[in-house]
Amino acid sequence: MTAFEVWAPRAESVRLDLEGIAHPMTRSAEGWWRAELPAESGTRYGYLLDDDPTVLPDPRSPRQPEGVHARSAVHTVDSDRWTDAGWTGRPLAGAVYYELHVGTFTPDGTFDSAVERLDHLVDLGVTVVEVMPVNAFDGTHNWGYDGVLWYAVHEPYGGPDGLQRFVNACHARGLAVTLDVVYNHLGPSGNYLPRFGPYLTDGRNTWGQSLNLDGPDSGPVRRHIIDNALRWLRDFHIDALRLDAVHALVDRTATPLLAELATETAALAAHVRRPLTLVAESDQNDPRLLTPPAAGGYGLTGQWNDDLHHAVHTAVSGERQGYYADFGTLETLAKTLTHGFFHAGTWSSFRGRVHGRPIDRSLIPASALLAYTCTHDQIGNRAIGDRPSAYLDDGQLALKAALVLFSAFTPMLFMGEEWGARTPFLFFTSHTDPVIGAATATGRKAEFAEHGWSSDEVPDPQDPETFLRSKLDWTEPSRDGHARLLGCYRALLELRRTRPEITDPWLSRVEVDYDEDARWIAVRRGRLVLIGNLSEHSVTVGYAGAAILSWDDPERADRGTTVPGHSFTIVDTAMSGQ
């Protein structure tokens, strides 16, 4: 017998449609409806609410073989197919993340084809694969943030069985798996949750209606989110979750959803006997997310650090538009490298107000902050999806990588950056509703028109070619220029793996010196010093020692090190005179 349960507190009657035959369901006092019937794996089913003849997919559907508008399918993760019994997990500290989008990581765009490229990540020095959202969304291709059935795995990627094979393959290679999940909104097409109950509020955020986290009947909505998170961690053996845009969660309860999720995740980690990690994306620069519950915080494991991205990017590239306005100086970069956040109770000209709070460097380790030179957002939300490789030279790309990989933070790479991929990563959708598709394309063009871009320059997200252009070109890594940059990334990650000074997580031990006019910066980690030259001209910096890794071969001298323009050198000061 299979138990079918659905929360529909306002319905007068709910029937289970099982392969076209309607069966009555029994209501509980809490608004849950239940029925038990024999059903094999793959059996199609849905729900009929009151007198509406439309069969709706299960809000907790485990599988959607025909898409988000069709019936759900019975499915259980097969425990006999797991091959990772010896997997003990990986903590956040000491990790190296790699963000990828399943649909564009390989030509085929599936979990199984992604497995074929995992050895590349191992050779590179990656320890954690972060997968952009794979929950079920409308259409065939999408970034994944338009998900509407959070419990189901997007079928064209390989569905739930494909995800299981992918996790098995990662764990067999010593790679942990992080899954990007979105709980702040639902996609515009295929969202039937409001027909079942008060999942949403009248309030809106940037992407749509807000979730009902603190209003009447919000308990089951919060449970919908928490149970979904625990399903990925427990049933699919996922090691970590990246929580999308948590600043868009409107929650005025005494125990916020994030704190409740952290508590339940810790309990599950104790049961499965491996670390389970929660990493937030937040633009609030609020250390309470990372502060332990005993100290009054939420107890999340980590969060993305956009300030570090902005500080590195603007210092190297010179871009200062939009939210980059307050960044660009080496003073800004130095502060971020030593204090985590740049905006920490300081004025933000972009926001027009004071923003952020300082991090207690004795309480929160730098490893709790993820650092990166680019992400899906920082590339894909540019008008033409151009990567830094489109407007920076290879020396500048290597310098950005060195600043991140030599930092005290947990580094994260975005797919293809390690070889300076020239393929763009564009914003793409495939909404089946032509009205929604047209509105998405029009809105995208209008957004960038406000920043001076012609509508002809902004690719149509609904055009299939926009998606195809975003796929990585795996012939690039073996080409001369790309191969050299790839070798630099490998060397930097090898150095990070072998020298404990670099993974030391305490920001109070990071020392930075710089010359704003000469455009050089020196970052000291123990006896190692990274000297980065952001200018076009050679500079000599007074750190005696032997260069152990550099982009260009520097001249060496006991009194100083000469670094060519757009380059870096890492010096071991304990090897002075050698």
Identify the bridge partners of residue 567 per DSSP, sorted by sequence position.
533
Residue 429: closest CA among 206, 244, 189, 246: 189
Identify the bridge partners of residue 15 per DSSP, sorted by sequence position.
24, 48
Cβ atoms < 10 Å from Cβ of 218: 18
Residue whose structure tokens are 């939210």: 323
User: How far is 231 from 533, CA to CA, in rounded Å?
Assistant: 47
> Exactly one of 146, 239, 244, 307 is catalytic; which is it?
244
Residue whose structure tokens are 């197919």: 81
Q: Phi, psi (5° rounding) for residue 169?
A: -65, -40
CA angle 512, 547, 340 (to 5 degrees): 25
Residue 494: closest CA among 124, 215, 240, 128: 124
Which residues, including other chains, have CB under 8 Å from residue 377's CB and lie 6 or more apart? none
Label residue 117 exposed, middle or buried (CB < 10 Å: 0-12, 13-18, 19+): middle
Residue whose structure tokens are 């073996």: 478
Q: Is the dihedral of CA 307, 310, 316, 318 positive or negative?
A: negative
Identify the bridge partners of residue 422 per DSSP, sorted by sequence position.
none
User: How far is 274 from 92, CA to CA, in rounded Å?
Assistant: 12
CB 239 within 8 A of CB 277: yes
Tokens of 303: 């969060």
DSSP structure class, residue 459: P
Beta pairing, strands 21-24 & 14-18: antiparallel
Q: Phi, psi (5° rounding) for residue 322?
A: 55, -130
User: How far is 34 from 20, CA to CA, in rounded Å?
Assistant: 18
Segment holding 176, helix H or strand E: strand 176-181
CA distances to 4, 24, 64, 143 from 14, in Å: 11, 7, 21, 34
Which residues, including other chains, have CB under 8 Å from residue 357's CB and lie 6 or more apart? 285, 286, 287, 288, 341, 344, 345
Q: Is 281 a catalytic residue?
A: yes
Residue 392: closest CA among 529, 515, 567: 567
> Exactly one of 281, 306, 417, 572 is catalytic; which is it?
281
User: How far is 528 from 496, CA to CA, in rounded Å?
Assistant: 11
Active-site positions read 244, 281
